[in-house]
Amino acid sequence: MKLYIGNKNYSSWSMRPWVLLTQAGIAFEEVMLRFDAFTPESAFKTELARHTPAGRVPVLVDEGFAVWDTLAIAEYLAERFPDKQLWPADRRARARARSVCAEMHAGFGALRSHFPMNVEARLPEIGAKVLAEQAGVRSDLARIVQMWSELLGEHGGPLLFGDFSIADAYFAPVVMRLVTYGVPVPAGIAAYMASVQALPGVAAWVKDALAEQDFLDFEEPYRQHR
């Protein structure tokens, strides 16, 4: 089984299935496709075209069969490895986990746009400026705090549904964004963020991201150099 991903410093979508596989102890081969100009003839697009018509990472290839899109990959892995219990065991909790993952998948556009993932950076001054100026980001943040608080309260933490699940892998990039931009959050949310960062799968991703030396200006609207 191979997982095609982009730069760990920048690729929030790649982080989700990588953390899920790593944290769950599912063996896979990582294939790193470093971000480039993304032109049709670029190395990134040329290699991806061999595996998916979508032209985006991540892509999971299992015995020659390609699955793309993070939510599809998560569902495929949950069916492929039922013993790993990647979704919560309770039917209603499982439905809620799918709901919040789908909400993340389709929403929070303002937060994603103004807080692009950049694991290596620490930009609290940008975070404060964006929160002061962008009502959409404040709204997205309020919803995330509400969602996480409700789930942590209902399931007792330390993770969203008690034990690690797809939902935590799905929100790991959001945690990294909030850390990068120094976003102030309530104590309970900060504790959840610390629990996510302490997961071996997340810690391994962060270690690799910090070791990267790429600087892509189109991924870093707030800096001129690394």
Residue % of the chain over a pLDDT of 70: 100
User: 136 and 63, same structural domain?
Assistant: no
pLDDT mean over 20-30: 98
- pLDDT score for 174: 98
* Predicted local distance difference test score (pLDDT) of residue 33: 96
What CATH number has the domain bearing residue 164? 1.20.1050.10
Output the six-digit token pair for 46.
Answer: 């040329």
Residue 204 pLDDT exceeds 90: yes
pTM of the model: 0.95
| Residue-level pLDDT at 217 | 87
**pLDDT number for residue 224:** 80
**The domain containing residue 156 runs over which residues?**
91-209
pLDDT surpassing 90 at residue 37: no
Say if residue 197's pLDDT is above 90: yes
Asked, for residue 63, whether it belongs to a domain, the answer is yes
pLDDT digits (tens, 9 = 90+) for 111-168: 999 999 999 999 999 999 999 999 999 999 999 999 999 999 999 999 999 999 999 9
Verify that 152 and 174 share a domain, yes or no. yes
Could you give the CA distance from residue 173 to residue 14 in angstroms, rounded to a whole number?
A: 9
Domain shared by 113 and 69, yes or no: no
Whether residue 42 is found in the same domain as residue 114: no
Q: What is the mean pLDDT of residues 183-192?
A: 98
41-49: average pLDDT: 93
| Domain membership flag for residue 220 | no
Residues 119 and 20 in one domain: no
Q: What are phi and psi of 66, to 5 degrees?
A: -95, 135
Residues 53 and 139 in one domain: no
Q: For the chain, how many structural domains are there in total?
A: 2
**Which CATH number is 45's domain given?**
3.40.30.10
Reduced to 3 states (helix: H, G, I; strand: E, B; else coil), residue 73 is: helix
Residues 27, 61 share a domain = yes
* CA 62 – CA 41 distance, rounded (Å): 26
Residue 75: CB atoms within 10 Å = 17
71 and 95 co-located in one domain: no
Instruction: Give how far the C-alpha of residue 7 lies from the chain's centroid of Cα atoms, to the nearest Å.
Output: 12
Judge whether 221 lies within some domain: no
Arithmetic mean of pLDDT, 50-64? 95
Residues 54 and 158 in one domain: no
The reply to whether 222 falls in a domain is no
- Same domain for 108 and 58, yes or no, is no
Q: Chain-wide mean pLDDT for the chain?
A: 96
Q: Are strands 29-32 and 2-5 parallel, antiparallel or unpaired?
A: parallel
Per-residue pLDDT band for 226 (boundaries 50, 70, 90) equals confident
**Are 102 and 188 within one domain?**
yes
Confirm whether 21 is domain-assigned. Answer: yes
pLDDT of residue 219: 87
Q: What is the mean pLDDT of residues 90-102?
A: 98
Is 219 inside any structural domain?
no
- Do 143 and 63 lie in a common domain? no
Domain end call among 42, 63, 84 = 84
pLDDT at site 216: 87
